Amino acid sequence: GSDLNAMRDRLIAFFPADMPYVIQTWQDTQRPLLNAVNLELTILNILLFLIIGVAGFGILATFFMIVVEKTRDIGILKSLGATGRGVMTIFLGYGLSLGTVGTGVGIVLGLLFVWKINEIANVIQKITGTQVYDPMIYFFDKIPTIVSPWMVGWVAVGAITIAVLASVLPAIRAARLHPVEALRYE
């Protein structure tokens, strides 16, 4: 909780310059390791962003297929008096429910994975015969995990938002369908 660099600078200023000792923080001595960990985190965040993007396009494609498959049903609803806004609300609600259920399942599975990460690493190590997590490199005897409730909350909000945004274009397409054309399509 203290400022290591400030403390190091105070110690350097206090002791004479011709002293045969080098004053460093643990971060100074482990700089290559910390840089490697930061690079791994950056690459991990980029990969996770790409995975989320692919999932968003998957939801978008699925919803477009649902609109195509349900064209006749949408035409019947509109011919019975459903408004474009009502049809759009149905698809946006479907996107919201899909995002909420998917996010809930993802959070539960993710937290279970984090909770059992060391056991999972041991199973993978036994199956493959290679060490997944080398304590000689990372200086820990087990994989450290930190679960931040704020991060979990932001990821949940982001996942639900992506699911709803991916359902907007198909919802607009469904809302714009003319009842006669939709019924003629089938």
Whole-prediction pTM: 0.72
Q: Do residues 110 and 138 touch, judged by C-beta distance below 8 A?
A: no
Ranked by mean pLDDT, which of 25-34, 121-130, 138-147 comes out on top?
Answer: 121-130
Q: Name the residue type at position 91.
A: F
pLDDT bracket for residue 20 (50, 70, 90):
confident
Q: Residues 90-139: pLDDT tens digits? A: 999 999 999 999 999 999 999 999 999 999 989 998 999 888 777 777 77
pLDDT of residue 149: 93
Judging by beta carbons within 10 Å of its beta carbon (0-12, 13-18, 19+), is residue 132 exposed, middle or buried? Answer: middle
Q: What digits encode the pLDDT tens for the residues 165-184?
A: 999 999 999 888 888 777 77
The angle at the Cα of 30, spanning 119 to 147, to the nearest 5 degrees, equals 40
In angstroms, the Cα distances linking 96 to 12, 22, 49, 55, 75 are: 58, 58, 20, 15, 23
pLDDT at 65: 93
How many helices (H) and strands (E) are present in the chain, helices listed first? 10, 0
